[in-house]
Chains A and B, each alone.
Chain A
């Protein structure tokens, strides 16, 4: 597309969050658009949201209803959405019934009526819902194919000549791509629904857009009381922000020394261990330290409600509740079980931008896995890879927690095998020393940085976690039952 063309064709702002991005900027003004998909996927909602966003009394939107859902019922349901403004009906958005003409099967009568209404109202937008019902049983022979193609072409020519941005809504299947409307349409938006066990996820695919560089792939769609929202699919390739040499304090006394001076800014750190080892405590202290240092933070929680998280986090020196009120801290709680990775990223990025966060905590990956819709869980690693790539491209430092089951003498980082996407890994585990259950940890990996290689004890108290002694004088720690090989007293179980 040349620069000259992009200046001629103006964008129509859709009013649907995320859709403009997917479309490569928005819909082309005066374009002839096909909105396709099975019943119930949100085609009508998509078009009406665009119409209510753009229609003005001097350039209204004409919404032609044809055979199918009775208009009164469509209005009844659509007005439940916040974008539907009853006061703008019919001054800006007008519902016109075409059933009589459509039922006659006479293409000329349908076209004549549409053009008469367009000439009378001078609309900026026209929708035909459902276009499919006008031409449901056609074409059956060559003459019908020609007649249908001619009708679609005349309709497109007429609407473009009247400077109308138009939407044809239809229940089409993949096997019907030879339909003439697919050829004539400037853009084709395909809505679908993935049903997997108890989860249903709506998706949008931009099959075709003339004059725009659209985002390929399937994008998650969610319909709420506010209307439709599209979550652009996170691209596989993300440009990572150049990491600085700055080190962030972890907030856990003794840990920064083990990590060569702290967590490198912009890193992705994984804290892994079995239940009860204090992963969340470490992550919470990382947040508290950031807040104490004047930074802002985002915490994505999956296993507890934000109120419960805040109540538990109150024990530290920093009052998390006050920080939330001061917009220094955002707690993101995402509805479990049918989440897409794109929605999660959108929610976290929105909060990062909202509070200006430099630290992000995901607590935990295990909870995130469960919260995802089954179709995303199938390839959790890919989902996480795209999510982390997108987050680190914003320059934030990410700490994630992951639960593993201690199986001695295995030494597992995480059940999700996600270590390849992390820069730093801390492994926590339980061992038995002199009849006491001790918590120990080791810094297993730090990309491009020196770090301690010894196991150390750590302690969880009402004041928080802190690192204890080195276990350099013990042998066989990974077996869970180490042997003291030094002289003098062993570790103090109380720290």
Chain B
């Protein structure tokens, strides 16, 4: 399944908005990690840990072959897909490579979701941009 241009454009907007103000590689890395954490937490909030993990695992597995950098900055663990080393990844591989990898991961995730619940709901689920604040929960997102 090729990523849809619309999905890619939306994910690019999402990333661009997050990292727009950042100039330094470390700050960009932190911004990417922050975005990923927010998307992951939004998914967990709506779908639960299992629902989120299943989607992210599939997206990660499908994307890591094209973007091996993902295996350096993230891992599949008992608590789902974690992107722990984005800043280190940026320093090792450069901003463009890490940005492209995370972008592809999110595009794949969005396309999987679009196939399940429709493209018009994807961004509502992934990043509703602080439309409502969430209450604290038991198991936190990474």
Contact stretch, chosen from A85-93, A202-210, A258-266, A350-358 = A85-93
Q: In this assembly, does B82 line the interface, its C-beta being within 8 Å of a C-beta of chain A?
A: no
Contact stretch, chosen from B18-26, B44-52, B65-73, B94-102 = B44-52
Once bound together, how far apart are the Cα atoms of A91 and B48, in whole Å? 19
Q: In this assembly, does A96 line the interface, its C-beta being within 8 Å of a C-beta of chain B?
A: yes
Dominant SS at the A interface? helix
Instruction: Please tell me if the beta carbons of B135 and A120 are within 8 angstroms of each other in the complex.
Output: yes
Once bound together, how far apart are the Cα atoms of A104 and B138, in whole Å? 10
Instruction: Please tell me if the beta carbons of A76 and B124 are within 8 angstroms of each other in the complex.
Output: no
Chain B residues, CB < 8 A from A119 = 135
Instruction: Please tell me if the beta carbons of A90 and B44 are within 8 angstroms of each other in the complex.
Output: no
Q: In this assembly, does B17 line the interface, its C-beta being within 8 Å of a C-beta of chain A?
A: no
Instruction: Please tell me if the beta carbons of B138 and A97 are within 8 angstroms of each other in the complex.
Output: no
| Total contacting residues, chain B, CB less than 8 A | 27
- Please name the residue on chain B nearest to A101 by beta carbon: B138
Instruction: Please tell me if the beta carbons of A86 and B48 are within 8 angstroms of each other in the complex.
Output: no
Q: Quick one: given A76-B117, A94-B132, A119-B135, are A70 and B47 in contact (CB under 8 Å)?
A: yes
Q: Min CB distance, A38 to chain B, in Å?
A: 24
Instruction: Please tell me if the beta carbons of B134 and A100 are within 8 angstroms of each other in the complex.
Output: no
Instruction: Please tell me if the beta carbons of A72 and B47 are within 8 angstroms of each other in the complex.
Output: yes
Once bound together, how far apart are the Cα atoms of A101 and B44, in whole Å? 13
Q: Mark B35-60, 1 if CB is under 8 A from A, else 0.
A: 00000000011111111000100000
Instruction: Please tell me if the beta carbons of A97 and B46 are within 8 angstroms of each other in the complex.
Output: yes
Q: Quick one: given A86-B120, A90-B132, are A100 and B137 in contact (CB under 8 Å)?
A: yes
Once bound together, how far apart are the Cα atoms of A95 and B48, in whole Å? 10
- Please name the residue on chain A nearest to B132 by beta carbon: A121
Interface residues of B in 112-140 (CB under 8 A from A): 113, 116-118, 120-121, 124-125, 128, 131-139
Q: Min CB distance, A425 to chain B, in Å?
A: 57
Q: Mark A72-109, 1 if CB is under 8 A from B, else 0.
A: 11011001000000110111001111111100100001
Q: Min CB distance, B51 to chain A, in Å?
A: 5
Instruction: Please tell me if the beta carbons of B48 and A99 are within 8 angstroms of each other in the complex.
Output: yes
Instruction: Please tell me if the beta carbons of B117 and A100 are within 8 angstroms of each other in the complex.
Output: no
Chain B residues, CB < 8 A from A374 = none
Instruction: Please tell me if the beta carbons of B132 and A70 are within 8 angstroms of each other in the complex.
Output: no
Q: In this assembly, does A447 line the interface, its C-beta being within 8 Å of a C-beta of chain B?
A: no
Instruction: Please tell me if the beta carbons of B132 and A75 are within 8 angstroms of each other in the complex.
Output: no
Chain B residues, CB < 8 A from A109 = 138
Chain A residues, CB < 8 A from B48 = 65, 70-71, 97-100
Chain A residues, CB < 8 A from B118 = 79, 86
Q: Min CB distance, A143 to chain B, in Å?
A: 24
Q: In this assembly, does A113 line the interface, its C-beta being within 8 Å of a C-beta of chain B?
A: yes
16 more A-B residue pairs beyond the given contacts A60-B132, A72-B47, A72-B116, with a C-beta to C-beta distance below 8 A: A70-B47, A71-B47, A75-B116, A75-B121, A76-B117, A86-B117, A86-B120, A90-B124, A91-B124, A91-B131, A97-B44, A97-B47, A97-B51, A100-B49, A116-B136, A121-B132
